Chain A
């Protein structure tokens, strides 16, 4: 590994870091922790960049994000000391913001694996097979987690708040 930053790494990270931050946020529900998760994943990626650059760095980063986030015991004091309550906008658009907050809250309530499955499937638009590969699980497990997660999101958010009429294969 060289001290000078590999320009291909820089280019890759700057193209993808925002996307990864959003994935991490949906997986963990906390902005600061999301950036922390992404930074840790990118440090690991940088250490393997020569080998992974021509393979599938996206899959590697997603996998690290998932693995670092999956454990409930990742919780640190700084992370759980409560932030201020979210302020909801008023007037036009407030209902939509409310729903977004509800969605993130509902995501947080899902078990880690279910949350990762729905984020990868429905935010990242990965196929079931690709989701299974990232998480190191079977396609059947992805299906079952996806089904359970959607059912719970529907229960938490209400069927009229999130329409779930179509299942991607």
Chain B
């Protein structure tokens, strides 16, 4: 490469404004250090409190949770091995803390005989899924078979490919489907949306610049999809709502396009709602401060979203939300940034789940910590789907050495029991990094 490219990189980055981060970095690090010391000092006393209010989950060493009485402030205790933690969030939300990535093996396996969701049952049928290696090109597989449904889909960013896991346990790569990155005008992305698969497993929808791809598992042949043109180059997400009758295709710049599945026609464009789905979770507060959770719902009659309504009458320990909302069985969940006091204890991300409209709610905090080598990436704990009693959680496995290369090679799919807080392993994604979405559970 040439000096020319160096100069171009330098020029491209030259507009970055300088922000003095020394003080805030030191202050945050010291606060975390002090919290950890306090937690360690209080550990002995904490054991007695925990023993009274908690339920051990899934065998020794697994994640723990508690239904402890409401605390006057957020307090979560991390044990020495990071696999046993309990506490409560302001507002009496029970907390479960995931082990650090290297200790995920301490979680026990889910009771597969008790699973009632087809999606979970199919995924749990294998202890490990390397979907890239397992995939068979759809053209070679002869297409979908009669009655076969889509239970999950993955986006393989390295190869710009999409594949599906079917009700028959097959992994089919959609090899004839040409897909490109979506863009918001500056940031490119290659991904599937959280609610991209219809409840009956028939459809998978994919947003593309200037259009939408609809994969139909009831169609035969090597190319069972069609494209719908939408005059918008900045489309980023496509989600099925209203029992699969409508696709909401969103551009953060221009709006959310309402597409009728039966006709394949655009019937309306509404103000942009990011990753628009049946239910969209929001938070109300300023950065770092505890907020109230809100939801907006898709109104199939009005073909628009309802105004935001407060889900809980309490502060939720959340100051911001990321990723997509998932909902089901009366629950809604999202990736959440905990408030500053929890952040200072080393919990910088988690999943908050709330039963709408008025609670209860609970937390799954990432116990990976913010320092050391055993950390999870930001966004490394994501909800993928919900039933009335279980949330399917994607938990990145940190970084591992593969030969001489350090890559993220695995992610655990976890079943988080919303009644008890118990977390157990459903299956593991291995091999190349892919993004996974699932059909409604």
Contact = CB atoms under 8 A, between A and B. Distances in A.
Interface in A97-146: 99-101, 103-105, 108-109, 111, 113, 118-119, 121-123, 125, 135-138, 140-141, 146
B408 interface: yes
B150 interface: no
Contact of B379 (A14, A76, A137, A166): A76
A53 interface: no
A80 to B, nearest CB: 7
B302 interface: no
Contacts of A78: 320, 322
Nearest to B5: A122
Interface residues on B, range: 35 or more
Contact of B335 (A39, A76, A118): A76
B5 A22 contact: no
A83 interface: yes
A103 B12 contact: yes
A25 to B, nearest CB: 5
A82 B21 contact: no
A117 to B, nearest CB: 11
Contacts of B139: none
B133 interface: no
B178 interface: no
Contact of B189 (A44, A80, A101): A80
Interface in A1-36: 1-3, 5-6, 9-10, 13-14, 17-18, 21-23, 25-26, 29-31, 34-35
A19 to B, nearest CB: 9
Nearest to B19: A35
A72 B396 CA distance: 11
Nearest to A15: B22
A146 B1 CA distance: 9
B378 interface: yes
B383 to A, nearest CB: 12
Contacts of B4: 162-163
Given A1-B29, A163-B2, A71 B186 contact: no
Interface centre among B4, B22, B274, B370 (most CB of A within 10 A): B22
A94 B370 CA distance: 42
A-B complex: 7 closest residue pairs judged by Cβ atoms:
A76-B322, A82-B252, A136-B406, A82-B184, A46-B29, A42-B25, A22-B13
Given A5-B23, A47-B33, A25 B16 contact: yes
A72 B157 contact: yes
A1 B406 CA distance: 30
B405 A75 contact: no
A30 B375 CA distance: 23
B321 A74 contact: no
Contacts of A103: 8-9, 12
A23 B189 CA distance: 20
Contacts of A96: 11
9 contacts: A2-B30, A13-B22, A17-B19, A72-B157, A75-B191, A83-B185, A85-B253, A96-B11, A141-B405
A75 B406 contact: no
A122 B236 contact: no
Contact of A123 (B13, B24, B185): B13
B6 A43 contact: no
Nearest to B13: A22
Contacts of A5: 22-23, 26-27
B8 A168 contact: no
